[in-house]
Amino acid sequence: MSPTISSSLCTVAALSGRPGRRAGQPGGNKRAVAQPLAAAAVTEAPPAVIAPPPRPVIGAPRRRGGRGVDGGPDELVAWKSIRQERWEGALEVEGKLPTWLDGTYLRNGPGLWDLGDYGFRHLFDGYATLVRVSFRDGRAVGAHRQIESEAYKAARRHGKVCYREFSEVPKPDSFKSFVGQLASLFSGNSLTDNSNTGVVRLGDGRVLCLTETVKGSIVVDPDTLDTVSKFEYEDKLGGLIHSAHPIVTDTEFWTLIPDLIRPGYVVARMDAGSNERQFVGRVDCRGGPAPGWVHSFPVTENYVVVPEMPLRYCAANLLRAEPTPLYKFQWHLESGSYMHVMCKASGKIVASVEVPPFVTFHFINAYEEKDEEGRVTAIIADCCEHNADTSILDNLRLHNLRAFTGEDVLTDARVGRFRIPLDGSPFGELEAALDPEEHGRGMDMCSINPAHLGKEYRYAYACGARRPCNFPNTLTKIDLVEKTAKNWHEEGAVPSEPYFVARPGAVEEDDGVAISMVSAKDGSGYALVLDAKSFKEIARAKFPYGLPYGLHCCWVPRDK
């Protein structure tokens, strides 16, 4: 049910954003904050729900036909482009939200896959859509807005792809323009800044949207969802690409910068409030012609874990105008798979071991294993591991997601647990942390209680599977001690990454809620709130329109 004008006016005023900050004042290092970029005109917007400036509440978006938009009555809203640039309004709450849940949930992801009659081919190509749900006093206000990257604005202006996306390349008008594209690729000018992957809250309060390219680091205002500025790194470390998932705490920021020229990785850290990355150390690759893909990586209290998997960056594929089955990567099984451990304090490599081949997008957590005398003997690192099967990448083509015929085609996945010995042994271990059947042999898009980052932990929250399926379709709570899982499922629904929010004053690790955005079978969308202990539904806050699938999320607590 669409929110009424009266409820929207009072509830938006009470709930939108975080009290204690004004719109357009993200805080932190003022050198990185510019005036908000001019918003592109909203197209196809139905009549607005009236609200006082500066936050208009705009009516729910309509959809139109066309390639890749409304491909048929059975096509899920999860894979349809959202056709309105922004919306905000009070949400209808079904159930009872905890009154202690006080803050803003943000989710980032690709939400626009169409330019006129042209449709993108891959899930990861879509232009970024930021979704917000603000909770207060048992009520909720929702909003979404397109992130105004240069790639998005250029595409809107010219009606075509203008930057190199994950699988899309601008079509050159001539051989001369093709040569120019190659030159701009090496300089990084033609790489996308479409920050459609992650969203993190930095220690100084700034909110940053990210993707694999360094230039795709964009500051947004969590209150208004305005695109504020580029996040400019004020150092000389350079790099065109980096891990899409840095490790962020209240005091620091850790990242990996792959080196494609001298195959390896630079480990860097940044203090909260700073834009200057500091060199910590370097890891040279032990195999293959290029570094392995490092979409994410884990840390412990004292160490950074650098994964080197045989799915490696490929310069030749970066140059291609048409995508290969592995896109920007190549599979080099013969090159070996390795896990490196670097000391945070000294930058020295304390372990470099060979492990069984693996494929992972997302690490879950890592911690230090100690003996009875308190000495660190090994590092335990957990990830969502796809049984060394690279087909997961090509399975994420939008055609495959939209054309599901009921066959069980989702690539198997497990909680892959690495044990990396620190005694000089040349080999590490990789095995399933629990029976993958517990979560339907599907496992990705994970979060934990942030208080256990880098420490021993028991619970993880992720997306699993109820088969047959072609995409993760459940939410699952993993118990790594009991080696069991609890699963939430709704027929035909596509949930996104569950994010754990602890109850204030909580002592137990799972005392809190898990929040996920769900694209429902009937075309609707809602924020689902589960009790993290029982993993039962508490409430859902319902949007008046369907939401496309999104990737990663964060929590912005309300300033007291």
10: left (phi over 0), alpha (psi -120 to 50) or beta: alpha
Of 175, 179, 191, 288, nearest to 239 (Cα)? Answer: 191
Beta strand 444-447 pairing with 198-201? unpaired
With beta carbons less than 8 A apart as the criterion, state whether 91 and 541 touch: yes
With beta carbons less than 8 A apart as the criterion, state whether 122 and 90 touch: no
State both tokens at 195: 């920050």
With beta carbons less than 8 A apart as the criterion, state whether 105 and 515 touch: yes
Cis peptide before 54 (omega within 30 of 0): yes
State both tokens at 121: 């081919």
Q: Which helix (H) or strand (E) holds 475?
A: strand 474-479
Is 362 flagged in the annotation as binding? yes
**Phi, psi at residue 150, to the nearest 5°?**
-65, -35
With beta carbons less than 8 A apart as the criterion, state whether 226 and 235 touch: no
Q: How far is CA 65 from CA 62, 71, 114, 117, 416, in A?
A: 10, 8, 11, 9, 42
C-alpha 113/C-alpha 97 separation (Å) is 33
State both tokens at 1: 């049910």
C-alpha 280/C-alpha 282 separation (Å) is 7
Task: Report helix, strand or coil for 503.
Answer: coil
- Strand positions, DSSP E, 96-202: 103-108, 110-112, 114-115, 118-119, 127-136, 139-146, 198-201
With beta carbons less than 8 A apart as the criterion, state whether 42 and 84 touch: yes
Alpha carbon dihedral 75, 76, 78, 79, in 10-degree steps, equals -10
**Beta partners for 218?**
209, 230
State both tokens at 32: 């990185």
For the entire predicted model, the pTM comes to 0.87
* pLDDT at position 14: 43
Is 552 flagged in the annotation as binding? yes
* pLDDT at position 22: 34
State both tokens at 225: 């969802």
Of 213, 194, 196, 201, nearest to 273 (Cα)? Answer: 201
* pLDDT at position 24: 35
Helices vs. strands in the chain: H and E counts, helices first? 6, 35
Q: State the burial class of residue 116 (Cβ atoms within 10 Å of its Cβ: 0-12, 13-18, 19+).
A: exposed
* pLDDT at position 353: 98
Give one DSSP letter per residue of 338-392, joined into a string: EEEEEETTT--EEEEEEE----EEEEEEEEEEE-TTS-EEEEEEEEEE-TT-THH
Q: What residue spans define the domains of the chain?
A: 5-557
Other Cβ atoms within 10 Å of 286 Cβ, number: 16
Is 399 flagged in the annotation as binding? no
C-alpha 96/C-alpha 112 separation (Å) is 32
Of 158, 164, 228, nearest to 194 (Cα)? Answer: 164
With beta carbons less than 8 A apart as the criterion, state whether 446 and 424 touch: no
* pLDDT at position 318: 75
Of 127, 226, 76, nearest to 551 (Cα)? Answer: 127
pLDDT in 10s for each residue of the chain, 560 residues? 433 333 333 444 444 444 334 333 333 343 333 333 333 333 333 333 323 333 333 333 333 333 333 334 457 999 999 978 999 999 999 999 999 999 999 999 999 999 888 899 999 999 999 999 999 999 999 999 999 999 999 999 988 899 999 998 887 666 555 565 555 555 667 899 999 999 999 999 999 999 999 999 999 999 999 999 999 999 999 899 999 999 999 999 999 999 999 999 999 999 999 999 999 999 999 999 999 999 999 999 999 999 999 999 998 887 776 788 899 999 999 999 999 999 999 999 999 999 999 999 999 999 999 999 999 999 999 999 999 999 999 999 999 999 999 999 999 999 999 999 999 999 999 999 999 999 999 999 999 999 999 999 999 999 999 999 999 999 999 999 999 999 999 999 999 999 999 999 999 999 999 999 999 999 999 999 999 999 999 999 999 999 999 999 999 999 86
State both tokens at 151: 């790639």
Instruction: Please state the length of the chain.
Output: 560
With beta carbons less than 8 A apart as the criterion, state whether 212 and 361 touch: no
Give one DSSP letter per residue of 303-314, joined into a string: EEEEEE-SEEE-
* pLDDT at position 117: 83
342's CB contacts (< 8 A; 6+ apart) are 267, 280, 281, 283, 303, 304, 305, 306, 348, 349, 350
C-alpha 239/C-alpha 256 separation (Å) is 10
With beta carbons less than 8 A apart as the criterion, state whether 229 and 256 touch: no
Q: How far is CA 42 from CA 61, 195, 275, in A?
A: 10, 20, 33
With beta carbons less than 8 A apart as the criterion, state whether 133 and 105 touch: yes
Is 332 flagged in the annotation as binding? no
